[in-house]
Amino acid sequence: MTNMDSFKILGGNKISGTFTPRGNKNAALPMIAASLLTDEEVIISNVPRIRDVVFMLELIGSLGAEWSWREDHQLRIKASRITTTELDSNLCKKIRASILLAGPLLARCGEVKIPPPGGDVIGRRRLDTHFQSFASMGISCHMAGNYYCLKADHGLQPAVIFLDEPSVTGTENALMASAGIAGEVVIKNAASEPHIQDLCTMLSSMGVAITGSGTNNLVIKGNKALKGTTVRVCSDHIEIGSLIALAAITKSDLTIEPVKLEYIHPIVFHFKRLGIEVQINQSKLTVSSNQSLEIKPDIGNAIPTLADGPWPSFPADLTSIALVIATQAKGTVLIFEKMFESRMFFVDKLVSMGARIVLCDPHRAVVVGPSKLSAQHLSSPDIRAGMALLIAASIAQGESIIDNAHQIDRGYESLDVRLADLGLDITRV
């Protein structure tokens, strides 16, 4: 896989079979970061082998940690010693999740020098929430060149932290920094996404007492001597949502397993408003080929709004995909992306394919469907928009090319191979 790779997709084919989702990348990345909290061995299974995981492993390796793949999707990490607390700026440019190394390094070493993180350009992604929570724990921060220099001059202190927004990575950093404090830390207005619940499970198994996992109020009692652990990453609910969308708009029969109902309920609920019906039997989800794909109007036949938000609202990472579904559903819907002001900046590509969309402003788009789409030569601007364009290309008449396939590779493991196995006409070029 290189940055020059493209996907070639011939539209009009159905998919079928059983799809096994990989582990949640947004859980795996903070869990890899959390392995730095202990000098003992950590085993993490069901880790997706994607570009962002590779970048994170390179980062912890540059800090002195040893890591290896024990099996296809199982990692062994041992940070018996940390050789530096200054992160490599070139590696940090490659991945947004580099910021997640601040919390564990502060907990273990009391200091860190970290450059601004990279990642998708989907709008301003502020770091204030991280630094405000660190300050509450007695950590000072100043800029030196292009580095944020964080230091706990008098050790990390117990605190009551109020996050000014329920930031996922802000919550994760506060959790990991708190893990090294013997006293009590309370995090209010915390994020509660499935990946944060996974991180709480891992920290608990390492010796941290946590109450409130899955809620917006976390109480943490840390431990100076955290132990190693063996943990498993949950299935990626975003990948599951992506495949539900692909199966529904191609009118295909598809089984997805394993799934965890409480992690996909908000997705299934909102997809139903776009006309997608699924059946769930324990850990098995089935999408049938007889989808009506008709948007459910609000009471009084008013045009409905599908909006994202912090968990358990509809996930922001599926907004782009919901927009593509709406292009194939009968009716009109307002898609409201509240969280990132550049997430919608791929809509012009769908319009060029024949979709009827009015981009009202950076956050809102009105979609009128269904529309017949035609193949185009496209480029993926970010992970989720890239997946949305791939789904659109699967029903477009003709052969589409999607450049910047490496963007999609950052979030979906070997997607071309796995979708080809299901019957999609897709090749990597």
pLDDT tens digits, residue range 38-65? Answer: 999 999 999 999 989 999 999 999 999 9
Q: Is residue 2 part of a domain?
A: no
* Boundary residue ending a domain (204, 232, 260): 232
Indicate if 212 and 267 belong to the same structural domain: no
Predicted pLDDT of residue 125: 55
Indicate if 265 and 126 belong to the same structural domain: no
Q: Which one of the listed residues 120, 236, 382, 416 is annotated catalytic?
A: 120
For residue 366, is pLDDT > 50?
yes
Indicate if 224 and 184 belong to the same structural domain: yes
Indicate if 409 and 286 belong to the same structural domain: yes
Mean pLDDT of the region 377-406 = 96
Predicted pLDDT of residue 65: 97
The percent of residues in the chain predicted with pLDDT above 70, rounded, is: 97
Q: Is residue 327 part of a domain?
A: yes
Q: Determine contact, residues 180/207, Cβ cutoff 8 Å.
A: no
* Boundary residue ending a domain (232, 248, 275): 232
Amino acid code (one letter) for 417: V
Q: Is residue 146 part of a domain?
A: yes
Per-residue pLDDT band for 2 (boundaries 50, 70, 90) equals low
The percent of residues in the chain predicted with pLDDT above 90, rounded, is: 86
Predicted pLDDT of residue 116: 84
Indicate if 191 and 42 belong to the same structural domain: yes
For residue 96, is pLDDT > 90?
no
Query: Dihedral sign, CA of 153, 157, 162, 163?
Result: positive
Q: Is residue 104 part of a domain?
A: yes
d(CA 87, CA 101): 9
pTM (two decimals): 0.93
Predicted pLDDT of residue 224: 83
Q: Is residue 1 part of a domain?
A: no
Indicate if 352 and 424 belong to the same structural domain: yes
Predicted pLDDT of residue 120: 44
Mean pLDDT of the region 413-427 = 97
Instruction: Report the CATH number at residue 80.
Output: 3.65.10.10
Q: Determine contact, residues 178/202, Cβ cutoff 8 Å.
A: no
Predicted pLDDT of residue 212: 97
Q: What is the mean pLDDT of the chain?
A: 94
Q: Is residue 71 part of a domain?
A: yes
Q: Is 120 a catalytic residue?
A: yes
Indicate if 216 and 79 belong to the same structural domain: yes
Q: Determine contact, residues 369/292, Cβ cutoff 8 Å.
A: no
Question: Residue 40, class by beta-carbon neighbours within 10 Å (0-12 exposed, 13-18 middle, 19+ buried)?
Answer: middle
Between these two residues, 4 and 201, which has the higher pLDDT value?
201
pLDDT tens digits, residue range 150-187? Answer: 999 888 999 999 999 999 999 999 999 999 998 999 99
Indicate if 136 and 210 belong to the same structural domain: yes
Indicate if 221 and 325 belong to the same structural domain: no
Mean pLDDT of the region 76-94 = 93
Whether the bond into 310 is cis, omega within 30 of 0: no
* Boundary residue ending a domain (232, 248, 264): 232
Amino acid code (one letter) for 367: V
Cα distances (angstroms) measured from residue 411 to each of 149, 238, 242, 336, 352: 30, 9, 11, 23, 25
Q: Is residue 56 part of a domain?
A: yes
Provide the domain limits for residue 239. Answer: 7-21+235-428
Q: How many domains does the chain have?
A: 2
Predicted pLDDT of residue 123: 40
234 Cβ contact list (under 8 Å, min separation 6): 23, 24, 27, 46, 194, 195, 198, 260, 263
Indicate if 221 and 249 belong to the same structural domain: no
Mean pLDDT of the region 371-392 = 95
For residue 126, is pLDDT > 80?
no
Indicate if 215 and 127 belong to the same structural domain: yes
pLDDT tens digits, residue range 190-208? Answer: 999 999 999 999 999 999 9
Indicate if 220 and 256 belong to the same structural domain: no
Q: Is residue 290 part of a domain?
A: yes
Per-residue pLDDT band for 402 (boundaries 50, 70, 90) equals very high
Per-residue pLDDT band for 1 (boundaries 50, 70, 90) equals low
> SS3 sequence, the chain?
CCCCCCEEEECCCCCEEEECCCECHHHHHHHHHHHHHCCCEEEEECCCCCHHHHHHHHHHHHCCCEEEEEECCEEEEECCCCCCCECCHHHHCCCHHHHHHHHHHHHHHCEEEECCCCCCCCCCCCCHHHHHHHHHCCCEEEEECCEEEEECCCCCCCEEEECCCCCHHHHHHHHHHHCCCCCEEEEECCCCCHHHHHHHHHHHHCCCEEECCCCCEEEEECCCCCCCEEEECCECHHHHHHHHHHHHHCCCEEEECCCCHHHHHHHHHHHHHCCCCEEEECCEEEECCCCCCECCCECCCECCEEEECCCCCECHHHHHHHHHHHHCCEEEEEEECCCCCCCCCCHHHHHHHCCEEEEEECCEEEEEECCCCECCEEECCCHHHHHHHHHHHHHCECEEEEECHHHHHCCCCCHHHHHHHHCCCEEEC
| The pair of three-digit structure tokens given for residue 223, joined into one six-digit string | 């431990």
